[in-house]
């Protein structure tokens, strides 16, 4: 009789420990975190359209996936005290320009902070209003160097998953159709950088990509990374973030929305949860 009771207690103990471990794992996986988005909102109506869209859609995602979302156009908040409140920083359009802000962001990333940058946040071209004068950010952190060219008009592309093992690409199909976007080409070949993990690139079935009218705005071949991570940091860069606008018709109306794509959104959510909740 005592032996039977002992066995029952042992089984009950095992079940309790299993339940506890499952609950702990679930609580960890659903751990809340905080996201702060920085934006400028004054360069190109397409980028401004995306910024407004992001500030509307991210709070909705936060309610579903248990994170809080704040946003600011005050780049002086890019300081150690302010950044310490957040697990993930987003750059919706541009980047910090002041030396103290840049130093604070670099230290935040080197201390293990999370970051997602969109589209124009990687832009740098000398000479322009956004010159390449931040070597750590453009050459080491992003690895892309300066902007070289882009497609036009904004068009959809078929994207190919290059690294299916990365947390950001979990559950994604091998290829999928992205939202219309202005696609960028970069100074450096990211395939030659051992620190860069290319997550998605433009699939060859997308060519010709762009409608012109200028011939160089239409791509017919080549290799173009559009989403990548840096193995030395907790970060993901997205080339997406340029909505199609009715420039030709003169209304400047938004014709497409970056977040109107379930697969693309899953990529973004995967990235946020990976960065916000840690490994």
Would you place residue 4 in the very low, low, confident or very high pLDDT band (cuts 50, 70, 90)?
A: low
The answer to whether position 120 is within a domain reads yes
Q: Indicate the pTM of the whole model.
A: 0.90
41 domain-assigned: yes
Domain contains 24: no
Residue 178 belongs to a domain: yes
- pLDDT of 11 higher than 80: no
Where residue 224 sits, what CATH number does that domain have? 3.40.50.880
For 202-227, what is each residue's pLDDT tens digit? 999 999 999 999 999 999 999 999 99
Query: Which domain range does residue 148 map to?
Result: 33-277
- Work out the pLDDT band at 15, boundaries 50, 70, 90: very low
pLDDT of residue 28 exceeding 90, the answer is no
Total count of domains within the chain: 1
What are the start-end ranges of the E strands in the chain? 33-38, 67-72, 88-91, 114-118, 147-150, 158-161, 175-177, 184-186, 196-202, 225-230, 234-238
Distance CA 279, CA 275 (A): 8
Q: Are 15 and 9 in contact (CB under 8 A)?
A: no
- Please, which residues bridge with residue 159 across strands? 176, 202
């Amino acid at each position: 009789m005592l032996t039977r009771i002992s066995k029952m207690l042992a089984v009950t103990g095992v079940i309790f420990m299993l339940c506890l471990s499952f609950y702990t794992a679930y609580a960890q996986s659903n751990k809340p975190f905080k996201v702060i988005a920085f934006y400028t909102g004054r360069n190109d109506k397409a980028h401004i359209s995306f910024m407004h869209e992001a500030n509307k859609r991210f709070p909705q995602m936060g309610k579903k996936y248990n994170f809080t979302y704040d946003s600011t156009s005050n780049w002086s908040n890019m300081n150690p005290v302010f950044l310490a409140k957040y697990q993930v920083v987003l750059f919706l359009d541009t980047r910090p320009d002041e030396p103290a802000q840049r130093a604070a962001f670099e230290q935040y990333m080197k201390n293990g902070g999370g970051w997602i940058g969109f589209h124009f946040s990687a832009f740098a071209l000398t000479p322009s209003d956004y010159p390449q004068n931040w070597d750590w950010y453009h050459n080491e952190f992003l690895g892309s160097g300066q902007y070289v060219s882009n497609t036009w008009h904004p068009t959809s592309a078929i994207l190919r998953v290059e690294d299916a093992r990365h947390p950001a690409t979990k559950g994604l199909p091998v290829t999928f159709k992205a939202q219309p976007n202005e696609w960028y080409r970069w100074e450096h070949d990211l395939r030659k950088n051992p620190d860069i993990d290319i997550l998605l690139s433009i699939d060859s079935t997308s060519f010709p990509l762009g409608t012109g009218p200028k011939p160089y705005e239409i791509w017919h071949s080549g290799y173009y990374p559009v989403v990548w991570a840096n193995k030395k940091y907790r970060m993901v860069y997205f080339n997406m973030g340029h909505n199609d606008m009715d420039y030709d018709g003169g209304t400047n109306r938004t014709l497409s929305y970056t977040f109107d794509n379930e697969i693309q959104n899953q990529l973004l959510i995967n990235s946020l949860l990976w960065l916000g909740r840690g490994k």
